[in-house]
Structure 1
Amino acid sequence: MMQKLASIFLYLCVALYAAAQDKPNVLLIYVDDLGYGDVGAYGATKLKTPNIDALAGRGVRFTNGHAAASTCTPSRYSLMTGNYPFRQSGTGILPGDAKLIIPQDRMTLPKVFKASGYHTAIVGKWHLGLGDEVAKDWNAAVKPGPLEVGYDYSFIFPATADRVPTVFLENHHVVGVESSDPIHVDYKQKIGDDPTGKENPELLKMHSSPGQGHDNTIVNGIGRIGWMTGGHRARWTDEELTFTFFEKAKAYIQAHRKEPFFLTFNATEPHVPRMPAAMFKGKSGLGYRGDAILQLDYTVGQLVQELKDNQLYENTIIIFSSDNGPVLDDGYQDGAVTELHGHDPSGGLRGGKYSAFEAGTRVPFIVSWPKHMATGSVSDALIAQVDLLACFAEFLEVNLAEQDAVDSKALWKTLIGQEQGGRSHMVQSSRTHAVLQGNYKYIKPNAGQKIAKLVNIELGQDSEEQLYDLSVDRGEKNNVAKKFPAKVAELKRILDQELKSVERD
């Protein structure tokens, strides 16, 4: 009898292990400020991105894939929650000392995976706030954060690479902080005696552009936004950022190769300050921005190779996308403008980061799953990063509450290239709002500035209503609002209905 029970127990263990192994691992590679035209698979000719292109060659390349917003924090909020950013106040671009903006009591993308038995991790940029308050003790446990909203493990930096504090956090603690050199951060006034870019420009190895705020505390020869003091041994070296993140991701993959995992890898490229490792400097011929994209592509290749080395590649879903569109001069004089040499980061689209035009949110969006997806397919379906939560909930049979992920659409078969149908419409958030439906795009009137002069990007703002037929006017040059008043009225109704719950300040 005991032998029979032991056999049954062994059988169940083997069955459960096999079921766990059958679940695909998921690697989300979420990059920063990469434009639609920055990748070879999307038409770039001045830059070579063979590893990113290879992902497209083994899966589906979406030509109408979008971030929810034209800037980073709101896009990341939507990715995590399945909600448009305007549904919650405080989802604009956050300073480095912001409090956590992801609700802890609601469903998130990593929580979907946890509900299905996955181990979850995030490595890289966070920029969604930490702690319950702006004022926080960086020398003790910093929470709530990623662990409280669905991740089992996190290795992050708090905001962006151009903002203090320039430190890593592993789970709840700053890596390398010492009690004898405590960290303090302030975004209102200078603190401490650390040199600043404004007062000590002779110490800079990369000069900041005037008026963009990157002239506060100098770390690693680069002026940052905000002031910090202390934590000198905890501060990162920019040239090592990407390799540090990769090594953490590599160790995570190796440690969890025998169980299904969801790994979010939030790359910092090509966001400013662009300070690539020596092996990439000068290699693109397009300044440090181009070099940073080469470094990003290399990292993608290394991540894929790590999956292959651990026999995980064939059954790993890899999603590659960017949080918003491109920007060249975003605070530092790094050759991005002067060494562009004919490269078009927006891929023929109008606008860029910060913009209501298409280049603000239409980004590279690639999904690969070698074991189950056809290779090298292209989809024109309208799909958004906000949909990932509902897509994976559908696939993993995780039930969502009515109040969760209200803007996320369950488009699993579209996501893996088995169907061409996408969402009926989507709202794009910037300094104004737009709605995209089929071939038509409507931009809500907003009498703000038309061009962000500091970054030289058209913002898409106008006192008049704008309507574009993207089937014949991909570059949004011909406003046809007066020609098609019925379509304007239809899209305006859709947008007003979506915005009625709350308007972002």
Structure 2
Amino acid sequence: MHLNNVFARHAILLACLFPSLLQAQVVKKDRPNVIVVYADDLGYGDLSAYGATKISTPNVDRLAREGMLFTNAHTTSGTCTPSRYALMTGEYPWRKSGTNILPGDAALIISAENATLPSVFQKAGYKTGAVGKWHLGLGENGKKINWNQPIAKGPDAVGFDYSFIFPATGDRVPTVFIENQEVVGLEASDPIEVSYQQKIGSEPTGKENPELLKLHASPDHGHNNTIVNGIGRIGYMTGGKKARWTDEEIAHVFVDRAENFIEQHSKQPFFLYFSLNDIHVPRMPSTQFKGKSGLGLRGDAILQLDWTVGRILKKLETLGLAKNTLILFSSDNGPVLDDGYDDGAVTQLNGHNPRGPLRGGKSSAFEAGTRVPFLVRWPGIVKPGSRSDALVCQIDLIASFASFFNQKLSQQDAPDSQDLFAVFTGKSAKGREILVEQGGGFSLVKGSWKYIEPSEGPKVQKLTGTETGRDSLPQLYDLKNDIGEKNNLAGMHPEIVKELAAALKKIREDGRSR
């Protein structure tokens, strides 16, 4: 008792002399730094943590080893823009028109009037940053973007204090970086103009000047317009010569900016949305990775992605932030091999299976379209080496963090997001009961059952060779026993088909599911 009294008196004395120290410890526990690392087109089977044997991803695997690996995590959609929209807004993207894959000159599709994932963090007192691929539009509807002046309404309009992005995808113009709404390195004497309707200017194109290409492309994908850095793009661009990126440098530029953001805000809680360019086409990784994977440029880009994650982990350790930083790693949709460029993705696959045990891929209604890698590391909170089979979706991040910060979302905010914070941190094994998936038609997952509604269209996508999941008849799969969706059980269980079709109809008509 005597020793306990001594310790108690010392604790009181410390609290009186250093109240800010004790307060800081409480704040840090309640408000960890949060980094969402978002890969592009990375498949369920592309990481060694998920069973890949032809390629090694030690840095991403470390997140699994020191945190939790999810086996049943999903995007809402089989393509990038809608998945990103859902992540940011907590709303199924098909509820809003214009959330399809956007051109590089599209207007901002996120409403500034409603809560977003970054605005939830802002409200909690965090500094928020977006670094990397954006692809959610810039500027206002009905107004052509003027790339030669500060762009109204970008990441800043939806909750980001800082942003360093490129507008759409690597294969779309304009091929420039934008920092806090201004094109980086733009010269007033060389203004930028962009068109997706017709050719502008006199710059060489992939269609007219294929001899200038260092990465040849199929004309069917549209990668034969303005040539930048020896690569044909979608869309036409003139001007901004010194502002244009070099593909081999993109990963380095993005990770440098991400590290700078982390360092600048190391003394206060921060939220970083780090959206990688890899492994989307055109796959043109840094020289240090070219030829290193044995799987063509796609495999080399995976190595570069893994290196990027390693850079972030090292920076957190150097700054003493690793223990107080929650990292979530995932991808915006499933894999695609031949996406229009001759980069060895198919011819040098060498036994690698980017889908893992799943069927389909990017744009598909089958599982490989939306079931993606999902890893969570939070030292001291998430059990190292743990695993979850719970059904979760990226759309649930906004409601989960709002709940963590004790913020109440309005009826209009995040209408389809659910609070799964306990699941994301391993405190609960109970995930979603129902999830609607979009890609090659619509599907609904409830428990182990997956229903794909009838839809017209090709069963195989002509451009990529991916199974779309479309069929004129309903499809029903038991994912617990048939994760590869090989056996359509719709004819054997018409009552389940009817139940799930009705559930999908109701979610559509209700306008919300939260």
- With the shorter chain as reference, the TM-score category is over 0.9
CA contact (8 A) 1:123 1:265 kept: yes
CA contact (8 A) 1:86 1:499 kept: no
For 1:422-461, list aligned pairs within 5 A: 422-461=431-470
**Residue number in structure 1 paired with 2:103:** 95
1:265 matched to 2:268? The reply is: no
Query: How much does 1:474 deviate?
Result: 1.1
Aligned partners of 2:233 and 2:310: how far apart in 1?
A: 30
**Residue number in structure 2 paired with 1:239:** 248
Aligned partners of 2:137 and 2:17: how far apart in 1?
A: 46
Aligned partners of 2:443 and 2:290: how far apart in 1?
A: 38
For 1:369-448, list aligned pairs within 5 A: 369-448=378-457
State which drifts further: 11-20 or 368-377: 11-20
How many residue pairs are counted as aligned between the two chains? 497
1:80 matched to 2:88? The reply is: yes
**Residue number in structure 2 paired with 1:138:** 147
1:217 matched to 2:226? The reply is: yes
2:450 counterpart SS class: strand
1:479 matched to 2:491? The reply is: no
1:408 counterpart SS class: coil
For 1:67-466, list aligned pairs within 5 A: 67-133=75-141, 135-466=144-475
Aligned partners of 1:362 and 1:207: how far apart in 2?
A: 31
Aligned partners of 1:435 and 1:347: how far apart in 2?
A: 21
CA contact (8 A) 2:207 2:219 kept: no
Query: 1:404/1:372 Cα in 2 relative to 1: closer, same or farther (>3 Å)?
Result: same
Aligned partners of 1:16 and 1:477: how far apart in 2?
A: 56
Q: 1:58 aligns with which of 53, 56, 66?
A: 66
Letter in 2 for 1:369: W
2:412 counterpart SS class: coil
Aligned partners of 2:19 and 2:195: how far apart in 1?
A: 56
Give the TM-score, by structure 1 length. 0.96
1:500 counterpart SS class: helix
Query: 1:180/1:315 Cα in 2 relative to 1: closer, same or farther (>3 Å)?
Result: same
| Cα deviation digits, residues 378-403 of structure 1 (max 9, x gap) | 10000000001111111111111111
Query: How much does 1:371 deviate?
Result: 2.4
**Residue number in structure 2 paired with 1:4:** none
Q: 2:28 aligns with which of 21, 30, 41?
A: 21
Letter in 2 for 1:25: N
Query: 1:21/1:87 Cα in 2 relative to 1: closer, same or farther (>3 Å)?
Result: same
CA contact (8 A) 1:21 1:258 kept: no
Query: How much does 1:21 deviate?
Result: 3.4
Aligned partners of 2:328 and 2:220: how far apart in 1?
A: 36
Query: How much does 1:210 deviate?
Result: 3.2
Query: How much does 1:354 deviate?
Result: 0.5
Structure 1: tracts of 5 or more residues without a match: 1-7
Letter in 1 for 2:28: Q
Aligned partners of 1:204 and 1:9: how far apart in 2?
A: 69
1:177 counterpart SS class: coil
Aligned partners of 2:468 and 2:28: how far apart in 1?
A: 47
Letter in 1 for 2:97: S
Q: 2:45 aligns with which of 37, 55, 67?
A: 37
| Cα deviation digits, residues 136-194 of structure 1 (max 9, x gap) | 10000112010110000000000000000000000110001111000000000000111
Give the TM-score, by structure 2 length. 0.95
Aligned partners of 1:452 and 1:237: how far apart in 2?
A: 31
1:26 counterpart SS class: strand
Aligned partners of 2:352 and 2:181: how far apart in 1?
A: 41
Q: Which runs of 4+ in 1 moved over 3 A?
A: 8-22
Aligned partners of 1:15 and 1:301: how far apart in 2?
A: 32
1:41 counterpart SS class: helix
2:436 counterpart SS class: strand
1:426 counterpart SS class: strand
Q: Identity rate of aligned residues, in percent?
A: 57
CA contact (8 A) 2:451 2:501 kept: yes
Aligned partners of 1:16 and 1:497: how far apart in 2?
A: 48
CA contact (8 A) 1:20 1:260 kept: no
1:434 counterpart SS class: strand
Query: How much does 1:13 deviate?
Result: 5.5
Letter in 1 for 2:354: P
**Residue number in structure 2 paired with 1:497:** 506
CA contact (8 A) 1:86 1:502 kept: no
Query: 1:469/1:384 Cα in 2 relative to 1: closer, same or farther (>3 Å)?
Result: same
Structure 2: tracts of 5 or more residues without a match: 1-14
1:211 counterpart SS class: helix
CA contact (8 A) 1:94 1:129 kept: yes
Aligned partners of 1:250 and 1:488: how far apart in 2?
A: 49
Letter in 1 for 2:223: H
Letter in 1 for 2:67: G
Aligned partners of 1:201 and 1:10: how far apart in 2?
A: 72
Aligned partners of 2:25 and 2:282: how far apart in 1?
A: 45
Letter in 1 for 2:292: K
State which drifts further: 364-373 or 286-295: 364-373
CA contact (8 A) 2:376 2:382 kept: no
CA contact (8 A) 2:108 2:140 kept: yes
Aligned partners of 1:319 and 1:300: how far apart in 2?
A: 11
Query: How much does 1:502 deviate?
Result: 6.8
